[in-house]
Amino acid sequence: MSLSYRRRCTLAKSAIPSDTIYSDTFEKNLASRAQRLARAATAAALLTVAACTGSRQPSIAITHVSVIDVVSGTTRSDNTVIITGNRIVYAGPAARANVPGDARVLDGRGKFLIPELWDMHVHAFVWVFSDFAGPLMLANGVTGARDMGYLIDTTLRWKHDIAAGRESGPRLVVGVRVDGPVGRAQFVSHVASEVDAVRAVDTLARKKDGSVRADFVSTDAFIPRAAFFGLAKEARTLRFLFAGRVPLSVSVIEASDSGQRSVEQEDDLMRACTSRESVFRAQLADTTNRRTGDDPLQLRSQARAILSSYDPERCRLVMETLARNHTWVTPTLVAYQPYAHSFDSATRHPEWIKYVPRIVEGGWQHKVLAVPKPDSAMVQSSFSFERTGALHRAGVGLLAGTDAPRAFIYPGFSLHEELALLVRSGLTPLEALRTATYNPADYLGSLDSLGTIGVGKIADLVLLEANPLTDIRNTTRISAVIANGRVFDSAARAALLHHVVTALKRD
């Protein structure tokens, strides 16, 4: 790349707006630290230079590679995939490929090419995006992420900067968070009534000129019942997607019947599979003596009662309803693992902690101390790999998501853990792979441009050293990541990780 070209590139600034206010002390400290860093630092030259290369790059050819068809499960060996700009212009037998003379060639011999990996449940803006979640996701082959809701204009700015090649990061699907009148977080729209909820959908989903603002409304636990049904009705009228936690004021079946596109996290379903769902929901909805962030404790305290009131027939009805309504489920199994295993070393992953801002890690360590020595067997049995497998067998679409950066859940890295846990739940490696590739594209209505490898599709791809269909763990054996037509080879991926470590040292 020439210096003159470099000079034409503008430095993108990390951005956490100054009005960020979180609802508790830890988050407030985190936000103020992030703001200070954001003001002090411009995005790394590394990332900016990478971001500036998009339109000028020659074509890319991944030659003699085994292309995995995530729909049929077949592997097309000795294929070549040619990318021009950010689109695939050829995908077929290597012998018939017309590779441009100036193409950058990635030798795919012995390697496997899969479509983009999505993390369908993240909270990516807990820290300066370009110093933490963004590079970690890209380095791990996660080129798409559904953010469950932060300050909407900040998230949208990142989304557009990434799409325009001005910033490095995963393709973002942007939620805007709606919750009940609890907490004071300014990135949440607090609704108390049906009128509030309708107004929230109208103003957050679309601008005054009618153009789309957020990609979806992200529902949270404390939306009052009337407000939820108002929100659902307005979203249906506008044909606007709403998804997220099932509010405690309604049942999973009611949420599904109201058009909620996806249900997040296993604990909503766990309660739905008991004969006392409404009682458990009422207990959790009572915030009188509850601190924010106590969910795992609440879960554990209810676990024994949940197990004793488990109702397979009701569970079957719930699953049938979800399948009939095409309501997807994002189990986020990995998010429960640290709690289920007493925060042992295997679930804390100390080898990745250097990629985590100290203040975020501090919050995680606080969880270790604050959560009493768990009854691991009880926590483990309160969420269920079998139930996830049963959802799958019942025809409910599953989405891979991590809930990063929940305690010891690492952006990028933990998505691969989730895929392995989905296999443990009874999915085949192919079915697990679909939850992060084809299924997200289907869920988002983007199968015309994403989700599989073919001519005309956006070039979001992961080149693997080994076959993920024989062992899902092979998704971690990344040779190169192609994000929106840009190659991140081993050196570039190492540089992304190095950037995070370096940026966090300023912390």
Scanning 26-34, 104-112, 395-403, 468-476 for contacts with Zn ion by CB under 5 A, the matching segment is 395-403
Residue 332 or 439: the one with the smaller Cβ distance to Zn ion is 332
Residue 363 or 451: the one with the smaller Cβ distance to Zn ion is 363
Q: What are phi and psi of 176, to 5 degrees?
A: -125, 125
CB contact at 8 A, 170 and 144: yes
User: What distances in angstroms separate CA 230 from CA 23, 227, 415, one per listed residue?
Assistant: 26, 5, 34
DSSP string, 458-496: B--EEEESS-TTT-GGGGG-EEEEEETTEEE-HHHHHHH
Residue 131 or 403: the one with the smaller Cβ distance to Zn ion is 403
Closest CB 264 distance from Zn ion, rounded Å: 6
Secondary structure of 14-65 in HEC code, one letter for each residue? CCCCCCCCCCCHHHHHHHHHHHHHHHHCECCHHHHHHHCCHHHCCCEEEEEE
β-strand pairing of 60-68 with 75-84: antiparallel
Residue 7 or 291: the one with the smaller Cβ distance to Zn ion is 291
User: What distances in angstroms separate CA 189 from CA 15, 37, 278, 308, 313, one per listed residue?
Assistant: 21, 26, 25, 37, 37
Scanning 229-237, 350-358, 399-407, 430-438 for contacts with Zn ion by CB under 5 A, the matching segment is 399-407
Write down the residue that tokens 């209810």 correspond to: 302
Q: 242: part of which helix (H) or strand (E)?
A: strand 242-244
* 90/81 Cα distance (integer angstroms): 5
Closest CB 119 distance from Zn ion, rounded Å: 11
Scanning 94-102, 214-222, 398-406, 429-437 for contacts with Zn ion by CB under 5 A, the matching segment is 398-406
* 158/132 Cα distance (integer angstroms): 14
Closest CB 266 distance from Zn ion, rounded Å: 12
Q: 176: which strand partners?
A: 217
* 253/270 Cα distance (integer angstroms): 13
Closest CB 429 distance from Zn ion, rounded Å: 26
How many amino acids of this chain bind Zn ion (CB under 5 A)? Answer: 1
Closest CB 437 distance from Zn ion, rounded Å: 21
CB contact at 8 A, 329 and 263: yes
Residue 68 or 178: the one with the smaller Cβ distance to Zn ion is 178
Closest CB 382 distance from Zn ion, rounded Å: 18
Closest CB 402 distance from Zn ion, rounded Å: 9
Closest CB 284 distance from Zn ion, rounded Å: 16
Residue 62 or 422: the one with the smaller Cβ distance to Zn ion is 422
Residue 462, judged by CB atoms within 10 A of its CB (0-12, 13-18, 19+), counts as: buried
Residue 403 or 418: the one with the smaller Cβ distance to Zn ion is 403
- The alpha carbons of the chain give a radius of gyration, in whole angstroms, of 22
* 413/432 Cα distance (integer angstroms): 16
Interface mask toward Zn ion for 348-387; x: CB under 5 A: ----------------------------------------
Residue 417 or 431: the one with the smaller Cβ distance to Zn ion is 417
Closest CB 145 distance from Zn ion, rounded Å: 12
* 479/113 Cα distance (integer angstroms): 10
β-strand pairing of 461-464 with 478-483: antiparallel
Scanning 11-19, 169-177, 225-233, 403-411 for contacts with Zn ion by CB under 5 A, the matching segment is 403-411
Any idea how long the chain is?
507
Which residue in the set 277, 403, 418, 460 belongs to the binding site for Zn ion (CB under 5 A)?
Answer: 403
Residue 277 or 403: the one with the smaller Cβ distance to Zn ion is 403
Scanning 6-14, 365-373, 397-405, 466-474 for contacts with Zn ion by CB under 5 A, the matching segment is 397-405
Closest CB 405 distance from Zn ion, rounded Å: 10
Q: Applying CB under 5 A, does 267 fall inside the site for Zn ion?
A: no
Residue 234 or 403: the one with the smaller Cβ distance to Zn ion is 403
Residue 403 or 460: the one with the smaller Cβ distance to Zn ion is 403
SS3 147: strand
Scanning 4-12, 365-373, 396-404, 463-471 for contacts with Zn ion by CB under 5 A, the matching segment is 396-404
Residue 27 or 403: the one with the smaller Cβ distance to Zn ion is 403
Residue 12 or 176: the one with the smaller Cβ distance to Zn ion is 176
Scanning 69-77, 211-219, 400-408, 471-479 for contacts with Zn ion by CB under 5 A, the matching segment is 400-408
Q: CA nearest 393: which of 433, 422, 436? A: 422
DSSP string, 112-136: EEEE-EEEEEE-GGGS-GGGTHHHH
Closest CB 228 distance from Zn ion, rounded Å: 18
Query: By Cβ distance, which residue is nearest to Zn ion?
Result: 403
CB contact at 8 A, 493 and 139: yes
Each residue of 151-164: b (16+ CB within 10 Å) or e?
Answer: bbebbbbbbebbee
Strands (E) across 288-420 are located at: 328-330
* Two tokens, residue 319: 């699953």
Closest CB 131 distance from Zn ion, rounded Å: 21
SS3 428: coil
Closest CB 404 distance from Zn ion, rounded Å: 9
Q: Which residues bind Zn ion (CB under 5 A)?
A: 403
